[in-house]
Amino acid sequence: MKKKKRAGINCLVPFLFAVYMVLLVWIILFKLQLSIHDLDTVRNINLIPFHYENEIGMNFHLKEVLENIGIFIPFGIYLCMFRHEPNFKRKFIFILSTSLILEIFQYILAVGGTDITDLITNTCGGMIGIGLYWSAVKIFRGKKRADTVITVVAAIVTAVVVGGVSVLLISN
């Protein structure tokens, strides 16, 4: 019975990761819009970290930084669940590369500013996710237990997020 339960949880992780990636791309590239025609056409590059052209307000910029960090935390966690070796450098490069690819696509599609700050904060979020994952492994005294707990929590969070997004889409 335990093997069947664990197999079910192991099959759930790739599905949850796929849902997460769809949401990540939808948020970063499509800004939660249903149609690419609803997006503003923006194509600019900012290579100065934490530098902003306009004075929208520090609270907005801080909020954006925290959102970028937050949205990439699950990426680091999922990466650890899929890649068992503790090679920090490879994981760092993979997170950085993924963020860079998304930033490049923002520029190519002209759907947002390509910003070094986003690259830095996204990568920091992924690295925080890695730290949280290994903390969970220590707290739950092993990878299998940690993976099970994380998968259950991820399933609940994914259901809530998808449900919330669905309600927003239906009501608009």
For the chain, what are the domain ranges?
Answer: 58-172
Strand 45-46 versus strand 114-115 pairing type: parallel
Q: What is the dihedral of CA 103, 116, 125, 42, to 10 degrees?
A: -40
- What φ, ψ does residue 115 adopt, rounded to 5°? -135, 130
The per-residue pLDDT for 50 is: 82
Q: How does pLDDT run across 3-27, given as a tens digit for each residue? A: 555 566 678 999 999 999 999 999 9
* Mean pLDDT for back-to-back runs of 10 residues, the chain (172 residues): 60 95 91 67 80 62 91 97 84 97 91 89 98 97 95 97 89 77
The per-residue pLDDT for 1 is: 46
Q: How far apart are CA 100 and CA 147, in angstroms?
A: 28
The per-residue pLDDT for 10 is: 73
Q: How far apart are CA 172 and CA 162, in angstroms?
A: 15
Interior CA angle at 134 toward 133 and 135, to 5°? 90
Judged by DSSP in three states, 42 sits in strand
